[in-house]
């Protein structure tokens, strides 16, 4: 692996196609898939395809709600750290992390009791980044437009 960027165990990324300019994320090489906390989630049909509408809160103390709509990729069984299997919706979207733009599959779930609203798993990290658990926030915030009120 030539010129692999080393990141810390936590970083900030953007999900530009979802209108999310910055989000704190935990990088987890032990998790296979990536997960995003959503406050609400509904599926609907558009032009014969299944779409998902969901709300994401961003911005720390001064939270701003972002409503997202995107095509559903599929539904898959996911096993959490407690060994429980649940059926979750997955989407495919672009991520900006460490100045890199790439696509990632993300499952939508309730992470309200977790420290980070998003977890980036090893499938998204593979061949792109190395993770050093002794490091934290090694990269500047992503350079995309921020909604009003988001620090």
Task: Supply φ then ψ for residue 124, to 5 degrees.
Answer: -75, -30
Using CA atoms of 103, 108, 109, 111 in order, give the dihedral in degrees to the nearest 10.
Answer: 40
Q: CA nearest 20: which of 128, 83, 96, 75?
A: 96
The residue-averaged pLDDT of 53-75 equals: 86
5-130 CATH fold: Cathepsin D, subunit A; domain 1 (2.40.70)
**Average pLDDT taken over every residue of the chain:** 89
Boundaries of every domain in the chain: 5-130
Quick count: other Cβ atoms within 10 Å of Cβ 101? Answer: 11
Tell me how far apart the alpha carbons of residues 11 and 67 are, in angstroms, rounded to a whole number: 23
pLDDT in tens, 66-124: 899 999 999 999 988 788 899 999 999 999 999 999 999 999 998 888 889 999 999 99
Confidence bin at 144 (pLDDT 50/70/90)? low
User: Who's near 122: CB < 8 A, 6+ residues apart?
Assistant: 28, 29, 30, 31, 32
Nearest to 25 by CA among 35, 40, 39, 17: 35
For the entire predicted model, the pTM comes to: 0.87
pLDDT score of 59 more than 80? no
Collapse the DSSP code of 147 into the 3-class scheme (helix H, G, I; strand E, B; otherwise coil) and give the result.
Answer: coil
């Amino acid at each position: 692996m030539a010129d692999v960027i080393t990141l810390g165990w936590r970083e900030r990324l953007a999900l530009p196609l979802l209108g999310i300019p910055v989000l704190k994320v935990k990088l987890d090489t032990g998790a296979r898939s990536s997960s995003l906390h959503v406050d609400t989630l509904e599926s609907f049909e558009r032009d014969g395809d299944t779409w998902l509408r969901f709300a994401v809160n961003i911005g720390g103390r001064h939270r701003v709600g972002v409503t997202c709509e995107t095509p559903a990729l599929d539904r898959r069984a996911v096993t959490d750290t407690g060994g429980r299997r649940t059926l979750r919706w997955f989407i495919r979207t672009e991520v900006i992390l460490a100045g890199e733009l790439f696509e990632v599959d993300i499952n939508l779930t309730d992470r309200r009791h977790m420290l980070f609203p998003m977890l980036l798993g090893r499938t998204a990290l593979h061949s792109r980044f190395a993770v050093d658990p002794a490091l934290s926030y090694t990269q500047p915030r992503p350079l995309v437009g921020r909604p009003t009120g988001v620090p």
